[in-house]
Amino acid sequence: MAQKPSIPKGTRDFSPVEMAKRNYIFDTIRSVFSLYGYQQIETPAMETLQTLMGKYGEEGDKLLFKVLNSGDYLSKVTDEELCERNSLHMASRLCEKGLRYDLTVPFARYVVMHRDELQLPFKRYQIQPVWRADRPQKGRYREFYQCDADVVGSDSLLNEVELMQIVDTVFCRFGIRVAIKINNRKILSGIAEVIGEADKIVDITVAIDKLDKIGIDNVNAELRADGISEEAIDKLQPIINMKGTNEEKLDVIAGLLSGSETGMKGVDETRFILNSLKAAGLKNCIDLDLTLARGLNYYTGAIFEVKALDIPMGSITGGGRYDNLTGIFGMPGLSGVGISFGADRIFDVLNALELYPDDAVNGTQLLFINFGDAEVDYCLPLVAAARNAGIRTELFPDAAKMKKQMAYANAKGIRFVALAGDNEIAEGKVTLRDMATGDQRLVDCEELVSQIKGI
């Protein structure tokens, strides 16, 4: 017996119903991006490892899927190198390309390559899959879609404000209640400075970014393992555990960071964003979360994360300001800020909360029964007329038994079935059956369209 086929762990097949749901997500997000003036681009699934490596921190580099060189990829590798079994060295010799880890670094590469063609500020969106060699678990996949919006070429904090308005608009349209969390990497740098561990900012942010996942005790243990002093860890505790309103937390952290120029700049930026969003009147709550760190090393200013309130799930949207990202590709001084919607996690949230509208997941609306060649010839113009009216319509391809064709309609959830036999043809009409109620009536083409469109 042949072995049953399988797919790699952390990947998924999607049925027609699931694809209808996913397209509802993509179409909703795409429409909001366009509403705010963002334009769509696409980049290749593969990038050179030179483009990808060193942009996500040490942990991110480990999660890159690397692609073997074409042809005889061992031809330039010596026996000594093989015997050394140095996996990192071998990967650099055998692989020149990798699957993209996110959409932001490829976007930065795109901006640098096409700099002479772009009108700045450049507002782009991108909806494509990304890949990470992570351990699969609930809500975490190795292949998943991201829906990104970024602005480059503007230092204005109004871009951050607008991106949070986009987040609010998208989740209002989905009907998902969310908490939008905000922090600033400059505040985190200021905290590292005032606790006496300025050179450990990366270690500190990587550790506290795991607070929700591993708890405060494990975060502190990781900080110790990274060489952070006990005195610094003790100073960090009241900051991590700070409570109160956004304004109260900002006032407290401003007092703590009064000696840090960088930290105070982060406070001022955050205060401007929060005050502007209050004036804009968001529907969802926005919270200053001083433990939010966003582990990616390229963030330099405001950082964002969004979590659903009515279901346990990791971050479903994230992003932030990255002033220096294009500099690593030879174009310094170009500031950017962006957000990324996790489409796969949003898919899971909408499923769990049953928030999909009926018209987003329903497929065919009308099925014409096939009684034979003469009946098909009669029905074909009616099928075309229904489709021209915007009704999703099928004609069963085979003159199969009536029972089989009706079973097909039921299995696909098709609401209406049209039957045209000798009597209907003689009158120039069809019998239209409502599969939900069992009612049926004799109608002409115009009545058929109006009855289905009127539902």
Known binding residue 364? Answer is no
Q: Report the relative pairing of strands 416-419 and 366-368 from DSSP bridges.
A: parallel
DSSP class of residue 398 equals: S
75: tokens are 């031809």
Q: What are phi and psi of 53, to 5 degrees?
A: -65, 140
* CA dihedral of residues 260, 263, 268, 269 (deg, nearest 10): 150
169 annotated among ligand-binding-site residues: no
> Is 102 known as a binding-site position?
yes
- Helix, strand, coil proportions of the chain in percent (round to 5)? 45, 20, 35
Query: What is the CB neighbour count within 10 angstroms for residue 445?
Result: 15
Bond into 332 cis (ω within 30)? no
Instruction: Please state whether beta strands 95-99 and 39-40 pair in parallel, antiparallel, or not at all (unpaired).
Output: unpaired
Rounded to an integer, what distance in angstroms lies between the CA atom of residue 195 and that of residue 291?
Answer: 15
Q: How would you classify the pairing of strands 95-99 and 46-48? A: antiparallel
Phi-psi region of 231 (alpha: psi -120 to 50; beta: other; left: phi over 0): alpha
- Whether residue 43 is annotated as binding a ligand: the answer is no
Q: What are phi and psi of 114, to 5 degrees?
A: -115, 25
What distance, in Å, lies between the first and last C-alpha atoms of the chain? Answer: 50
CB atoms within 10 A of CB 92: 13
The secondary structure of residue 432, as a DSSP letter, is E
Q: Please give the torsion angle defined by the CA atoms of residues 314, 318, 322 and 327, in that order, rounded to the nearest 10 degrees.
A: 80
For residues 166 and 37, what is the distance between their CA atoms, to the nearest angstrom? 11
- Asked if 9 and 139 touch (Cβ cutoff 8 Å), the reply is no
Is 298 part of any known ligand binding site?
yes
Residue 270 CB neighbours (<10 A): 27
Edge-to-edge, what's the strand order for the sheet holding 302-308?
A: 39-40, 122-131, 143-152, 336-342, 317-321, 302-308, 178-184, 285-288
CA distance 388 to 392: 9
94 has binding-site annotation: no
3-state secondary structure of 223: helix
Residue 125 marked ligand-binding: no
Q: What phi, psi does 122 have (nearest 5°)?
A: -105, 120
The reply to whether 141 sits in an annotated binding site is no
Q: Is 128 annotated as a binding residue?
A: no
Binding-site entries for L-histidine? 102-104, 132, 146, 150, 294, 298-299
Binding-site entries? 102-104, 132, 146, 150, 294, 298-299
